[in-house]
A and B are shown apart, each in its own frame.
Chain A
Amino acid sequence: MSVTVWIPRDAGALALGAEATAKRLVAEARAAGVDVKLRRNGSRGLYWLEPLVEVECADGRIAYGPVTEGDVPELVTKGLLIGAAHPLRLGKIEEHPWFATQQRLTFARVGRIDPLDLAAYRASGGYAGLARALELGPDAIVNEVLESGLRGRGGAAFPTGIKWQTVLRQPPGQKYITCNADEGDSGTYSDRMLMEGDPFSLIEGMTIAGVAVGATKGYVYLRVEYPHAYKVLNGAIAAAREAGLLGADVLGSGKAFDLEVRLGAGAYICGEETSMLESLEGRRGEIRVRPPLPAEKGLFGAPTIVNNVITLASVPTILANGAATYKDYGQAKSRGTLPLQLAGNIRRGGLVERAFGLTVRELLEDYGGGSMSGRPIRAVQIGGPLGAYLPASQFDTPLEYESLSEIGALLGHGGVVAFDDTVDMLEMARYAMEFCAIESCGKCTPCRIGSVRGAEALAAAGRGEDRDRQLALVEELCDTMLNASLCGLGGMTPFPVQSAMKHFPEDFRARTRGG
């Protein structure tokens, strides 16, 4: 008897013991006389159920989770390999309420297929987008992306089509496609999940970008903290090259495009696009003053597209199914779907891809199930370390660009970090300044000095030393950083600081600090 079993090799699943579970399952099955064909996939994104084990049965893939190594012997005895009933049995993931209510476009394949199985990628609609792009030609591709309403998913939310158009209009010659995979925002992991779970969609998206603007070379700038993604991406690139999907003659079109993955080296600032370009050139990741824009003068001085992983990986589905289909999702100026990431003190953490418009509360309660600690959620930080803190009174805000911007917050890369009522918001404000000080590239004074002084002043205020004067100084520093920094690191660090001071003033008043 032979049974196919899927267990993720996603870093998040591995961090929860997926490798030990997989090994034990194969061994226990063998002892029971069953030959297990172990397949490895990305994560379905239901991390509180990882390690998730899916068994191929007659009527589909039956999931069990979370399955720790210790659970395996009992599960095998009780009939996991035939999909038998058990308290850990979840049924089909597609029918699980947490999953069934999602609208997975960009993440359609993540967790379903073996990330390095090119045949499975193509069988599930992969490379249909590139095939159509090759028929359309540059102008029509760019139009399609423009029409879809796709905006940069890395955080800045700039219309992707306009960026592409600018690069397309530059005189012919060397141009580059670069993918910003320096996903450093705390609370975000969608880039990692996608690169580990469906790397071909990113490769296809970058290839379409190359065809659109006439670039023959692309770089993925990947953070060094993602070694698993590095391995998967390089494996996928090699497979795509082998199959003629990268190289001198992409899909027999006569057009050339090839890719290289470059590793960062632990610098948050390199997620800023000009700093990333400096780093790709092998230099210190100090930001460049704009203009010129990277679209005009980017990598090695050539016109360059800089897009985030999710942005580029959304392109194949847009091209394959048409701009209108994609645009039907979402509302107003936030079109398509957004992969939200639930993190921090949350009971059911994971990836929720839905059309724009879900409220913070729906995400935290319906999907998140409240805090992990069981205490009330007091604050959330959206969009990473440069994102504002929201109090519970703002939890009915829809998660889309304009609504968040109206309340002085930002969506960023879609990470939502929940904090329970034990959080000390003055300390979080101080940490925001400390983080900026650690990661500042040092090029401009407001960021380099302002962050250090801001962290010192908030620490002193926390100790109750001359509190009012310290907090007044923090306000002043925030104003300077906001208005005079060269890039988003110094320019946005005031968001978490000021929102903490505004919405949680009780944490900044005189009090007995518990620790």
Chain B
Amino acid sequence: MSTAAAPAGLLDESRILTIVAKHRHQDGPLIEILHDVQAAFGCVPPGAVPVLARALNLSRAEVHGVVTFYHHFRTRPPGRQVLQICRAESCQAAGGRALERHAQERLGIGFGETTPDGRVTLEAVYCLGLCACSPAATLDGEVHGRVTSQRLDALLGAQAAVKS
């Protein structure tokens, strides 16, 4: 997952058009394109919406509507690390609520927020399919099962050491 973010206003339009061109052969390609845009920019920057609308012959409202419908698409770049914690029933049954609270307290942020230093974005996720080893989480796309508060601290600590 790329976290290279383009600052707003400096949108590289040609990069978006290259992505669009790559999907020309597909029917109904908007979501596929949005995935690639997010991979390239770390998010779907608001400035990309009119570019995509023009290129795909859609209204801006249609593109905006799709971007905002799906939880996966962000309109702002995430922190340097992305921590996803599963909030679904299986994880709740195995101590997930305590893990959610611990993550929020440790990072000082709620779900959908990024720490003020830009280090970690905390996201809620509803099932990772790792329900036989609940509670589950992902950190920068790496999956982790049976996550305790201590384990989470270790993961965040270890990752921070690697990245800084």
Contact = CB atoms under 8 A, between A and B. Distances in A.
A267 B70 contact: yes
Given A282-B28, A372-B94, A385 B89 contact: yes
A402 B150 CA distance: 44
Contacts of A189: 129-132
B27 A15 contact: no
Given A225-B125, A284-B66, A417 B31 contact: no
Main secondary structure of the interface of A (DSSP, over half): mixed
Contacts of B72: 224, 264-267
B54 interface: no
B47 interface: no
Given A225-B125, A267-B71, A343-B90, A187 B66 contact: no
B65 interface: yes
A68 B26 CA distance: 44
Contacts of B93: 343-345, 417-420, 423
Nearest to A277: B28
Contact of A381 (B30, B66, B89, B146): B89
Interface residues of A, number: 63
A428 B145 contact: no
B133 A47 contact: yes
A385 B90 CA distance: 10
Contacts of A282: 28-32, 66
Interface string A45-84: 0011010000000000000000000000000000000000
A183 interface: yes
A11 interface: yes
B40 to A, nearest CB: 15
Contacts of B65: 284
Contacts of A372: 94
Given A224-B72, A225-B125, A263-B35, A186 B90 contact: yes
Interface stretch (B3-11, B113-121, B136-144): B136-144
B31 A262 contact: yes
Contacts of A285: 69-70
Contacts of B91: 186
A341 B108 CA distance: 35
A361 to B, nearest CB: 18
B130 A11 contact: yes
B92 interface: yes
B83 to A, nearest CB: 14
A250 B23 CA distance: 25
Given A225-B125, A279-B31, A385-B88, A343 B71 contact: no
Nearest to B91: A186
Contact of B132 (A286, A350, A435): A350
Contacts of A191: 129
A11 B26 CA distance: 29
A15 B69 contact: no
Interface string A252-275: 000000001011111110000000
B131 A266 contact: no
A283 interface: yes
Interface string B96-116: 000000000000000000000
B27 A281 contact: yes
B81 interface: no
Contacts of B85: none
Contacts of A192: 129
A14 interface: yes
Interface in B123-159: 125-134, 136, 141, 143-146
* 3 closest Cβ pairs, A-B complex: A349-B132, A186-B88, A344-B93
